[in-house]
Amino acid sequence: MSTSLLAVELAYWSETTLRVIGGLVAILLPAGGLVYVYLFKMMSFMQSRLGPMEAGPYGSMQLLAEVGKWLQKEDIVPAKADRQVFMLAPFVVLISTFLLILVLPFGPDAWFVDLDTGIYFAMAVSSVSVIGILMAGWGSSSKYSLLGGIRAAGQLIAYELPMVLAVLGVVIQAGTLNMNEIVFAQANGEIFGIDLIGNPYILTQFVGFALFMVAIQAELTQPPFDMPVAESELVAGYLTEYSGLRFLLFFIGEFATAGVFSGIAAVLFLGGWYVPGLAPEHDLYNVLGPLVLMGKIFLISGLIFWFRFTYPRFREDQLQRLAWKYLIPIALLNIVATGVLKVVF
- Choose the stretch contacting other proteins; rule: CB under 8 A; options: 72-80, 141-149, 160-168, 271-279: 141-149
Regarding 232 and contact with other proteins (CB under 8 A), the answer is yes
Regarding 318 and contact with other proteins (CB under 8 A), the answer is yes
- Choose the stretch contacting other proteins; rule: CB under 8 A; options: 210-218, 249-257, 303-311, 328-336: 303-311
Task: Write down the least CB distance from residue 47 to other proteins, Å.
Answer: 4
- Choose the stretch contacting other proteins; rule: CB under 8 A; options: 1-9, 22-30, 66-74, 310-318: 310-318
> Given candidates 57, 317, 344, 345, which one binds other proteins under the rule CB under 8 A?
317
Residues 6+ apart with CB under 8 A from 69: none
Which of 83/143 has CB closer to other proteins? 143
Task: Kindly determine how many residues on this chain lie close enough to bind other proteins according to the rule CB under 8 A.
Answer: 28
Task: Write down the least CB distance from residue 226 to other proteins, Å.
Answer: 6
Regarding 320 and contact with other proteins (CB under 8 A), the answer is no
Site for other proteins in 147-176 (CB under 8 A): 147
Regarding 267 and contact with other proteins (CB under 8 A), the answer is no
Task: Write down the least CB distance from residue 87 to other proteins, Å.
Answer: 25
Which of 74/317 has CB closer to other proteins? 317
The C-alpha atoms of residue 170 and residue 331 are separated, in whole angstroms, by 12
| Contacts with other proteins, 174-213, as mask; x by CB under 8 A | ----------------------------------------
Residue 191's φ and ψ, nearest 5 degrees, are -120, 120
Task: Write down the least CB distance from residue 20 to other proteins, Å.
Answer: 36
From residue 17, alpha-carbon distances to 11, 20, 46 in Å are 10, 5, 41
The C-alpha atoms of residue 300 and residue 303 are separated, in whole angstroms, by 5
Which of 63/234 has CB closer to other proteins? 234
Site for other proteins in 322-341 (CB under 8 A): none
Q: Which residues pair with 191 in a beta bridge?
A: 194
Task: Write down the least CB distance from residue 215 to other proteins, Å.
Answer: 17
Which of 154/339 has CB closer to other proteins? 154
Site for other proteins in 3-62 (CB under 8 A): 43, 46-49
- Choose the stretch contacting other proteins; rule: CB under 8 A; options: 82-90, 130-138, 273-281, 314-322: 314-322
Residue 194's φ and ψ, nearest 5 degrees, are -100, 120
Regarding 231 and contact with other proteins (CB under 8 A), the answer is yes
Regarding 310 and contact with other proteins (CB under 8 A), the answer is yes
User: Which residues are at the interface with other proteins (CB under 8 A)?
Assistant: 43, 46-49, 143-144, 147, 223-224, 226-227, 230-235, 309-318
